[in-house]
Amino acid sequence: MQHPLKLGIAGLGTVGAGLLHLLAHQKRHLDRRVGRQIVVAGISARTKAKDRGVDLSNITWFDDPVKLAEDPNIEVFVELIGGADGVAKAAVEAALRAGKHVVTANKALLAEHGVALAELAEEHRVALNFEAAVAGGIPVIKTLRESLSANEVHRVYGILNGTCNYILTTMTDEARSFDDVLKEAQAHGYAEADPTFDVGGFDTAHKLAILASLAFGTRVSFDQIDVEGIETITEADIEAAADMGYCIKLLGVAMQTKSGIEARVNPAMVPKHSAIAEVSGVTNGVAIDANYCGSLLLVGPGAGARSTASAVASDIVDIARGKILAPFLTPTRNLKAYTKAKIGAHKGAYYVRLSVYDRPGGMAAIAKRMGDREISIESMVQRRPRASLPGIGAHQDTGTPAAVVLITHETTEEAIRGAVDAIEKDGKVSERPQVIRIEKLHENAAPDGAEG
């Protein structure tokens, strides 16, 4: 048996403690499968005295994670601190410069500095593995880096944030408001006290940036992703979607187009019986469309101590077996510059909800604004939702705004946004119109050039 692989683990929160439990509980299993022992030789965290449920007395403690990263007694530095900058970045850089392999679950760090870190790893011929950074226990990174390495990926999309998926699923199943379900998610620990990073779509955008780089062989460009969150989704939108045979999901979508890469995070209406619509609760789902393998959907837990620790451990096992790949599959010297597709050129159908004042000529003015931009309307319905829905709809004789839902035929993002801006400026509506994309999935279609 080879000499033991010695780990230094920085960050002993939910995932770090979960990893310690896994390594202890699965020790004999791992030793037998890998052919060498995996030993935790050093640890670092904010608080030493905290009980993590594992005996740490025989493991060397480091107050400074950078010192742990540089320690000659470890071969693999496992960064579970989190954050795009600060000590996490400094420690990972120190480890790579010292010739240590690095395993991280830090999506923010990779989205902001992934290419520079990959260059360091390649320069020092060490691994930079990050399976746990995207979609928790779902092996999407390995799928892109290994299983699909002979394919050209056309599109990658999915549900990448369990908090948002839990909120939208519960709003749909229980006819409750966003604010009400968010409070419940916070009480269950699914959402932070400040949930902006999750519900605003930024967590999804970090993960999508990493997936897009892997899928398309480009440099990571988090700042090029268009981001919308779910804060404006109402019960009226959920109800309208259900009536039309859709449900609303927060999707991260990255796809190759003729003009560049279209990468966006936004609420979307997806067919109610599509595979992605069935991904509910805190579960994540990632779909990949490639030219030879066709369409894949990977579904599983996107967070949590056990599933994320499992993903971290799989990266450690790869290193123990001597498997070292270019972090972003394509060597950094060959990564293409990221060319952003013009988001206004995106084509698709749209759901538009308007709160229209009961005044003569209102609907005619709205139709004209749509016609000015050559937007064809498939249907227009005045909705009268349940009376319990606040501020939505009313009988016309009450004088309060009425909820009107439009479904368009295929048009461009630029056209629909221009029409909505004009309608709002006309003063015919009482609030900012709600616009939600109706997403084309074509889940069972074989991509061009592939055998179907």
Mean of pLDDT values over 343-349: 78
Mean of pLDDT values over 399-426: 90
Distant-in-sequence, close-in-space partners of 378: CB < 8 Å, separation ≥ 6 = 349, 407, 408, 409
Query: Which domains, ranges and CATH numbers included, belong to the chain?
Result: 5-133 (3.40.50.720), 145-302+337-343 (3.30.360.10), 345-438 (3.30.70.260)
* pLDDT of the residue at 442: 64
Per-residue tokens: 285:
């789902």
State the Cα–Cα distance between residues 305 and 23, nearest whole angstrom: 13
* pLDDT of the residue at 358: 79
Confidence of residue 343 (pLDDT cuts 50, 70, 90): low
Sole residue written with tokens 């992703």: 225
Burial class of residue 334, CB neighbours in 10 A (0-12, 13-18, 19+): exposed
Confidence of residue 448 (pLDDT cuts 50, 70, 90): very low
Beta bridge partners of 290: 153, 294
Amino acid at 44: S
Burial 343-356 (b: 16+ CB within 10 A, else e): eeebebbbbbbbbb
Contact present, 138 and 300 (Cβ < 8 Å): yes
The predicted-structure confidence for 134-151, as pLDDT tens digits, reads as follows 998 999 999 999 999 999
State the Cα–Cα distance between residues 311 and 15, nearest whole angstrom: 10
Identify which of 31, 435, 440 has the alpha carbon closest to the alpha carbon of residue 234: 435
Amino acid at 21: H
Burial 136-162 (b: 16+ CB within 10 A, else e): bbbbbbbbbbeebeebbbbbbbbbbbb
* pLDDT of the residue at 197: 94
Confidence of residue 389 (pLDDT cuts 50, 70, 90): very low
Confidence of residue 390 (pLDDT cuts 50, 70, 90): very low
Confidence of residue 54 (pLDDT cuts 50, 70, 90): confident
Q: How many residues does the chain have?
A: 452
* pLDDT of the residue at 394: 41
State the Cα–Cα distance between residues 227 and 398, nearest whole angstrom: 37
pLDDT above 50 for 395: no
Statement: the pTM of the whole predicted model exceeds 0.95: no
The predicted-structure confidence for 193-239, as pLDDT tens digits, reads as follows 899 999 999 999 999 999 999 999 999 989 999 999 999 999 999 99
Contact present, 247 and 277 (Cβ < 8 Å): yes
- Cα 202 from chain centroid (whole Å): 8
Q: Half-sphere exposure of 208 toward its Cβ, with a 13 Å CA cutoff?
A: 31
pLDDT above 50 for 441: yes
Identify which of 337, 425, 416 has the alpha carbon closest to the alpha carbon of residue 377: 416
Other C-beta atoms closer than 10 Å to the C-beta of 174 total: 10
pLDDT above 90 for 298: yes
The predicted-structure confidence for 267-284, as pLDDT tens digits, reads as follows 999 999 999 999 999 999
Mean pLDDT for the chain?
Answer: 90
State the Cα–Cα distance between residues 159 and 147, nearest whole angstrom: 21
Mean of pLDDT values over 64-91: 97
Distant-in-sequence, close-in-space partners of 90: CB < 8 Å, separation ≥ 6 = 66
pLDDT above 50 for 311: yes
Confidence of residue 382 (pLDDT cuts 50, 70, 90): confident
* pLDDT of the residue at 357: 86
Confidence of residue 316 (pLDDT cuts 50, 70, 90): very high
pLDDT above 50 for 96: yes
Burial class of residue 9, CB neighbours in 10 A (0-12, 13-18, 19+): buried
pLDDT above 60 for 261: yes
Confidence of residue 384 (pLDDT cuts 50, 70, 90): low
Catalytic: which of 207, 342, 347, 428?
207
State the Cα–Cα distance between residues 450 and 294, nearest whole angstrom: 7
Residue 102 is inside which H or E element, if any?
strand 101-104
* pLDDT of the residue at 398: 46
Identify which of 425, 367, 403, 424 has the alpha carbon closest to the alpha carbon of residue 234: 403
List Cα–Cα distances, 362 to 400, 405, 427, 429, 436, in angstroms. Answer: 13, 14, 9, 8, 22
Confidence of residue 304 (pLDDT cuts 50, 70, 90): confident
List the alpha helices (DSSP H) in 78-195. Answer: 86-97, 107-123, 140-142, 162-174, 178-188
* pLDDT of the residue at 189: 85
* pLDDT of the residue at 438: 94
Strand pairing category for 38-44 and 294-301: unpaired
Contact present, 164 and 198 (Cβ < 8 Å): yes
- Let me know if 48 is a catalytic residue: no
